[in-house]
Chain A
Amino acid sequence: MIKEIILPDLGEGIDGAEVSEVTVSVGDSVGPNDTLLVLESDKASMEIPSEMNGNITEILVSEGDELKPGHLLMKIEVSRDETEPASPIEEQAPQEAPSVANITTPQETQIEKLDSRKTLDDSPITSNVFASPGVRRLARELNINLEIMNGTGQKGRITKDDLNGYIKLQMAMSSGNVSAPKQEVDFSQWGEIEILKLTRIKRITGERLQRAWHTIPHVTQFDEADITDLNNYRKSLNNESSDKNIKITFLPFLMKAVTIVLKEMPEFNSSLDHTDQNLILKNYYHIGIAVDTPSGLTVPVVRNVDQKSIMDLSSELADLSSRARDKKLKPDEMKGGTFTLSSLGGIGGTGFSPIVNPPEVAIMGISRSKLKQVFDKSSSDFKTCFMMPFSLSYDHRVIDGAAAATFTSRFAKVLADLSHYKD
């Protein structure tokens, strides 16, 4: 009977390895534990032993090949009584059907599962490896296959140090994301302290911001817009408005203007796909508005801004922000944004660099508007203008600096042009 020899799992953290030596040829008779191949991964060299008795009929790899676990290595003609290797390793885990009376907390269940996995995935019988009973037991506990280990002890004996070294190597190879635990500092030694638990929103946004800051190469472009006419127009709208309950702020105008520029420059209204290889352009304009609430920052999303009037947007914003403060937003109302606006204009500041809200690629920050003396070329004189400072942080993988500068100056122009709001 011909059986296939497949490259086994090489252990955690080793995705693939290169064939450095094929130690058998077609026609060779091999027995269990005879070395078939020597593999070289970035950090370790390992021998791949045969698990069966038989004759090699075909070799499907050669030196230099890059292999991954599951790769078909060779074919072997096995003797009849060897067709069912009585390997207890391959046995199934004991199925512990949880009865109703046995329901445990998720944590306990986790531990129980881990235990049975540990007991069953290990290699219980170590047939011919050169290792003492104590080392064999430790290997079982650590789930290390001794058959692929090279012992460094006398005459090639596998020692406990070898197992420790193996674990360290595995840790080093998979440690990309492992950060050292933070040191606990006792601040009370320098004075009185108070401990405040972070709100859930703070903890979640904290993680998101941390990840965004780590993964997105941020650049921030600063600019300002002359909103003198816009301000007057806004005031007149508020005076004319029949519904005194709705106060028109700058925000609907900013949203309208940004949507117009997003239509002109679609890469600002996009996302990178999960492979980071493709840009997904969106033909809808859902603008997220950063709202500061007592329990933390939330970003409700206003949909299809391009299709809505200033009055529509004003009433929608009033509704969203009041519900955001009352924690009554639905999860869906905070999803699907294509661009985010963060306005600190009501509070103060001359400029700030917001963090991009992934998977979006850009965010605009608004600071406090001021009356300023601005030199007017046409009249060759200074005139007093109401100037709004703003910034644009963007994902530099998607947007380059020239595009960002074009975006901000275009935005300043569009925002000031009242024709966009009168339809």
Chain B
Amino acid sequence: MTGTKHAEIVVIGAGPGGYAAAFRASDLGKQVLLIDKDPTLGGVCLNRGCIPSKALLHISKVMDETKSLAKMGVTYGEPKIDLEAIRAHKDKIVSQLSGGITQMAKVRNVETIQGSATFKSNSELNIETENGHVSVSFDKCIIATGSTAAMIPGVPADHPSVLTSRTALDLVDIPERLLVIGGGIIGLELGQVYAALGSQVSVVEFLPNLLPGTDPDLVKPLQRKLKKQFESILLSSKVTSVEPNDDGTLTVTIENDKGTTTKVYNKVLVAVGRKPNSNLLNLDSTDIEMDERGFINVDVYRRTSVKNIFAIGDIAGNPMLAHKATHEGKVAAEVASGHSAAFDVRAIPSVVFTDPEVAWAGLTEIEAKENGISYEKGEFPWAASGKAIAMGANQGKTKILFDPESKQVLGVGIVGPGAGDMISEGMLAIEMGADADDIGLTVHPHPTLGETFAAAAEAFSGTITDLYIPKNKGH
């Protein structure tokens, strides 16, 4: 397949940002070439991230719910786990979605090439395929090659017992004892999966909180649940060494202010964040500029310092989230096709798909306090929601942060089952500039968890009847 090609727009990376960019550009009439190093489209998100992890999290959540039914008078026997069947189920979901993207590329006439792309210049790429080199010249290029799990020094990264989010999802076995290094989103999600499947899970986090940066009131219900599910949660603690043993286990030394402990784990999952894949592109042959962490610098149009080359998604900076990448991909495709577009959003939502889910959008209380931004808050505890109580989700909470003057929504935080779906209404409120009355006066269906969003606004306005709030405002 050696040869040369030209494309009006080349997209490198077929993840949620890359394929969105390719398809949008194609829909705008451009001749598009989509390159990915994997045989299947969809990137990390679809093949080794969001989607397979959600397939497993669904299983662990249902397993947990069956246990909670005991309190409601229904008991099941011990679950039997067929690891091979679970893997097959997960793989089927992935291949179904990936096949869908391949199909959509076909009907749009988006040409795809499997191979690793490296830059030769500001207008040329080399693609290393199974069957040889292909040289591609382009008018515009969109880089969407994403990120890779970061490692920490002192950990034998190649040891089979050392997992990353990617290998953890392969579900090779259920280790008896699993140590998760990193109490962030990925660590907690996968920790919960392995705990449900029978591992004794410990989490070690360097900072004093789980989900660092998230408002503590939203983390608290999750943390309470994890305490029951996990063997231990070690905060403000540091892994100083991971030593392989002859039997395949790992001896891990953890330091904190109480001293140093050494324990043996069957496996260690390193989930300390991700780093951009900018080192794989031979960017030195271009004039593309990066920051010190390896993120490609981009402007509001997602153009790099080379104006015909765009960068989107994880490689273009935080937050490393699929929905941010998708939106950026469309912006880049539109600008590259000569349209007026810009990355002009008020907020990007974050969701932790644990049980309970944690979701937030816009301003957080931590951010507001750090930056001296004044806000007022409306909160609704799910303990006052009929639906939440019926579901056994009375630990949940919905809160909205308002601008003290305009009463417009600045931020939303939700914890509880379905928080990730409910945050969308908060996003819409932020983008539309909705205020407390707009939300409170919108009729929400009963009984749902969604009505807690209106209730939080009403609690703020003082018009709520499902709570009693001593009179200090309202009509």
> Which A residues are within 8 Å of any B CB, using their own CB?
88, 91, 94-96, 112, 115-116, 118-119, 122, 124-126, 130-133, 136-137, 140-141, 143, 155, 157
Number of chain B residues whose Cβ lies closer than 8 Å to a Cβ of chain A:
20
Within 8 Å of chain A (Cβ to Cβ): is B111? no
Given A132-B432, A132-B433, residue A119 in contact with residue B338 (CB < 8 A)? yes
Is B299 within 8 A of A88, CB to CB? Answer: yes
Within 8 Å of chain A (Cβ to Cβ): is B252? no
Inter-chain contacts of A94 with B (CB < 8 A): 303, 307-308
A195 to chain B, nearest CB (A): 35
Lowest 10 A-B CB distances belong to which pairs?
A124-B342, A94-B307, A115-B338, A124-B300, A88-B300, A140-B340, A141-B340, A130-B433, A132-B432, A133-B431
Closest to A99 in B: B123
Given A130-B433, A132-B432, A157-B433, residue A119 in contact with residue B340 (CB < 8 A)? yes
DSSP majority for the B interface?
loop
Q: Which of B339, B343, B431, B435 contacts A155 (CB 8 A)?
A: B435
Given A95-B307, A132-B431, residue A122 in contact with residue B340 (CB < 8 A)? yes
Given A132-B432, A132-B433, residue A112 in contact with residue B338 (CB < 8 A)? yes
What are 15 A-B contacts defined by CB distance under 8 Å?
A: A88-B299, A94-B303, A116-B338, A119-B335, A119-B339, A124-B343, A124-B344, A125-B342, A130-B408, A130-B433, A133-B345, A133-B432, A137-B340, A137-B341, A140-B341
- Interface of chain B residues 430 through 470 with chain A (CB within 8 A): 431-433, 435
Within 8 Å of chain A (Cβ to Cβ): is B119? no
Is B433 within 8 A of A136, CB to CB? Answer: no
B80 to chain A, nearest CB (A): 49
Other than A115-B339, A118-B340, give 17 A-B pairs with Cβ distance below 8 A. Answer: A112-B338, A115-B338, A119-B301, A119-B335, A122-B342, A124-B301, A124-B342, A125-B342, A126-B344, A130-B408, A132-B431, A132-B433, A133-B431, A137-B344, A140-B344, A141-B339, A155-B435
> Which B residues are within 8 Å of any A CB, using their own CB?
299-301, 303, 307-308, 335, 338-345, 408, 431-433, 435
Closest to B308 in A: A94
Inter-chain contacts of B341 with A (CB < 8 A): 119, 137, 140
Inter-chain contacts of A88 with B (CB < 8 A): 299-301
Closest to B299 in A: A88
Closest to A143 in B: B340
**How distant is the Cα of A143 from the Cα of B345 in the complex, in angstroms?**
18
**How distant is the Cα of A201 from the Cα of B343 in the complex, in angstroms?**
52
A102 to chain B, nearest CB (A): 9
A261 to chain B, nearest CB (A): 62
B305 to chain A, nearest CB (A): 11
Inter-chain contacts of B408 with A (CB < 8 A): 130
**How distant is the Cα of A137 from the Cα of B345 in the complex, in angstroms?**
11
**How distant is the Cα of A43 from the Cα of B261 in the complex, in angstroms?**
76
Inter-chain contacts of A132 with B (CB < 8 A): 431-433
**How distant is the Cα of A64 from the Cα of B299 in the complex, in angstroms?**
40
Closest to B335 in A: A119
Inter-chain contacts of A112 with B (CB < 8 A): 338
Inter-chain contacts of A143 with B (CB < 8 A): 340
B427 to chain A, nearest CB (A): 10
Closest to B345 in A: A133
**How distant is the Cα of A116 from the Cα of B308 in the complex, in angstroms?**
11
B213 to chain A, nearest CB (A): 23
Closest to A120 in B: B301
B342 to chain A, nearest CB (A): 3
**How distant is the Cα of A220 from the Cα of B305 in the complex, in angstroms?**
67
Inter-chain contacts of A137 with B (CB < 8 A): 340-341, 344
**How distant is the Cα of A115 from the Cα of B301 in the complex, in angstroms?**
14
**How distant is the Cα of A334 from the Cα of B299 in the complex, in angstroms?**
55
Inter-chain contacts of B344 with A (CB < 8 A): 124-126, 133, 136-137, 140
**How distant is the Cα of A141 from the Cα of B335 in the complex, in angstroms?**
11
Closest to B331 in A: A124
